[in-house]
Amino acid sequence: MTAAAPCSKQLTIRGVNEMKRIKTAGLMLLIFAMLLAACSGGDRQTEAADGEAAAAPVELTMAFFTFGSTPADLPAVQDAINKIASEKINAKVKLLPISFGAWNQQMNLMLTAGERLDLLVTGSSPTLGYSSQVAKGHLLALDELVRQYGQDIAAAMDPAFLRAGQINGEIYGIPTLRDMASNNGVLFRKDLLDKHGLNAGEIKTIDDLEKALKLLSDNEPGLTLAAANGSIVDHLVNIDNLGDFLGVLLNGGAELKVVNWFETPEYAELLRRVRDWYEKGYILKDLATNKEATHDLVKGHRSFGFMNYLKPGIDPQESRFAGIPMVSASLTEPLSTTSKVTNIMWGIPRHSQYPEKAMQFLNLMYSDKEIINLFDWGIEGKHYVKTGTENVIKFPDGVDASNSGYNLNQGWMFGNQYLSYVFEGDDPEIYIKTEEFSNSAIKSKALGFTFDSTPVKTEIAALTNVLDQFKPGLESGALDPEKNLPEFIAKLRAAGIEKVIAEKQKQLDAWAAQQ
């Protein structure tokens, strides 16, 4: 036993040393394991981030209407747009052009069937069917999406214009930025005004217009006054027609009092004035039924001018269409109404697979100048070249309107037109002036109100038939108001106009209380 003691002591000392070694090694192993876990976790996070960045861009289907054939180079323009969108928001668009004549039916089918669609043009006209789409639940409310992903939209747009697409307090459509107001007036052949010593800038009232009509009619036999929509009266007054003339706001919407426009003394007086012009030969005799474009009437030497809605740049625009210099005379102040602002908007269908990405792409359409000009003009160097004057472009050598592969010419449709280049020959400051014109216009107090006609749809249908029967003839001077206006009023009453006005006033009051 005694001989064993030194061995035991030695074992004990060795055991303690071994324990220390094991503890040290264990601690080192623990630290190593923790580092390994941290590194592994970091690698996994890096891999996840890389995987997200490397994910294929989301594809958004984007529908819009066209007035002619689809441009041959649309796929190339789409590719150029997608290069930018892929880099900025990891998304791309599949452009879906649809002929305007087929638009309403095609959109109804796509929205009802839930076909793949992420962005679409909508608007206040019956063809575009904005209010109907909202009533059927086809469009998403966009307020929260704008707050999260549409900051550039909100920054670019007057808040009153952004709210114009509200229905029941929620936004379902984003208006495009273009001419957001209009004023009423006349476009004359400039050569005829010069010939007879007339100055368009001095024609400011109905009396001034009458004097000019008499002088031109007396000295230019066979030439008469036309109107863009067949109505002379519509272009002589500033009223907010609340979308359909079946209950309007007078004086540019200065008060939220809905009245029957067709029973006002002002309307009767205008009809008498227009009838007098018609009988004196100032007005195109078949204006009520004419289907020919106003600039074609000028081209065909049937008209010395026409009533129209005016905006900055209207003179060179109509001069190109008519093939002869035209000059405008304004009769009313610029006015913004809901129907004007919401005429062209963008919406996101409820069944969109990628509503957040759709809003991000919309945001680019209101902020990215390169994307705007791809939509508006095509590819630089191929479809246009810069002139050296800031923001002014022209066709490349050998290219013109007849052979360009991209001639959509619908800049008012794609987001923020104020970012668009100006084509050579137009005022280089046209979009600066358009923005100023829109922002400084009188705003109807009902801007943002959209009437839901569902409760009175039967009456609306009957009243529309009455309008079609009387309004064109009375407002072009073809029908005698002394005989026909009382019958018109009586038929409107019988068809239920008072019920429609009461419903419109009720909804307008409720809307105003929420503002």
Digit-coded pLDDT (tens) for 342-369 = 999 999 999 999 999 999 999 999 999 9
Give the containing element (helix H, strand E) for 59.
strand 58-66
Q: Is 329 helix (H, G, I), strand (E, B) or coil?
A: strand
Least confident of 228-232, 255-259, 338-342, 504-508: 228-232
> CA–CA separation, 71 vs 314, rounded Å?
25
> CA–CA separation, 151 vs 181, rounded Å?
24
pLDDT surpasses 80 at 28: no
C-alpha separations of 425 from 139, 315, 332, 413 in Å: 40, 12, 27, 21
For residues 206 and 272, the answer to whether their CB atoms sit within 8 Å is no
Strands 345-347 and 174-175 come out as antiparallel
For residues 351 and 140, the answer to whether their CB atoms sit within 8 Å is no
Q: What is the pLDDT of residue 14?
A: 38
pLDDT surpasses 50 at 418: yes
pLDDT surpasses 90 at 9: no
| 449 found inside a domain | no
pLDDT surpasses 60 at 103: yes
Q: What is the pLDDT of residue 18?
A: 41
Q: What is the mean pLDDT of the chain?
A: 89
Contacts 24+ apart (CB under 8 A), 206-212: 206/236, 206/273, 206/331, 208/329, 209/329, 209/331, 210/273, 210/277, 212/188, 212/329
pLDDT surpasses 70 at 416: yes
User: 262-294 pLDDT, tens per residue?
Assistant: 999 999 999 999 999 999 999 999 999 988 899
| 399 found inside a domain | yes
pLDDT surpasses 80 at 25: no
Q: What is the pLDDT of residue 238?
A: 93
For residues 89 and 453, which has the higher predicted lDDT (pLDDT)?
A: 89
pLDDT surpasses 50 at 10: no
Q: What is the pLDDT of residue 51?
A: 46
Q: What is the pLDDT of residue 354?
A: 97
b/e map 188-208, b = 16+ CB within 10 Å: bbbebbeeeebebeebeeeee
pLDDT surpasses 90 at 180: yes
Q: DSSP letters of 72-90?
A: TTHHHHHHHHHHHHHHHHS
Range of the domain at 418: 58-179+341-443
Q: What is the pLDDT of residue 35?
A: 36
| 413 found inside a domain | yes
Q: What is the mean pLDDT of residues 451-462?
A: 92
Q: What is the pLDDT of residue 55?
A: 86
pLDDT surpasses 60 at 333: yes
| 186 found inside a domain | no
User: 57-95 pLDDT, tens per residue?
Assistant: 999 999 999 998 899 999 999 999 999 999 999 999 999
Q: How many CA atoms lie within 13 A of 358 on its CB side?
A: 29
Give the rounded percent of residues in the chain with a pLDDT score beyond 70: 90
User: 112-150 pLDDT, tens per residue?
Assistant: 999 999 999 999 988 899 988 998 999 999 999 999 999
pLDDT surpasses 80 at 244: yes
Furthest CA-CA distance within the chain = 148
pLDDT band at 6 (very low <50, low <70, confident <90, very high): very low
Count other C-beta atoms under 10 Å from residue 463's C-beta: 23
Q: Which residues, other chains included, contact 11 with Cβ-Cβ below 8 Å and sequence gap of 6+? A: none
One-letter amino acid at 158 equals D
Q: What is the pLDDT of residue 184?
A: 95
| 83 found inside a domain | yes
CATH number at residue 88: 3.40.190.10
| 127 found inside a domain | yes
Closest CA to 262 of 498, 485, 491: 485
Q: What is the pLDDT of residue 16?
A: 35
Q: What is the pLDDT of residue 429?
A: 94
Q: What is the pLDDT of residue 8?
A: 35
Q: To 5 degrees, how large is the angle CA 63–CA 66–CA 69?
A: 120
Q: What is the mean pLDDT of residues 296-308?
A: 93
Q: What is the pLDDT of residue 54?
A: 60
| 318 found inside a domain | no
What is the total count of domains within the chain?
1
| 324 found inside a domain | no
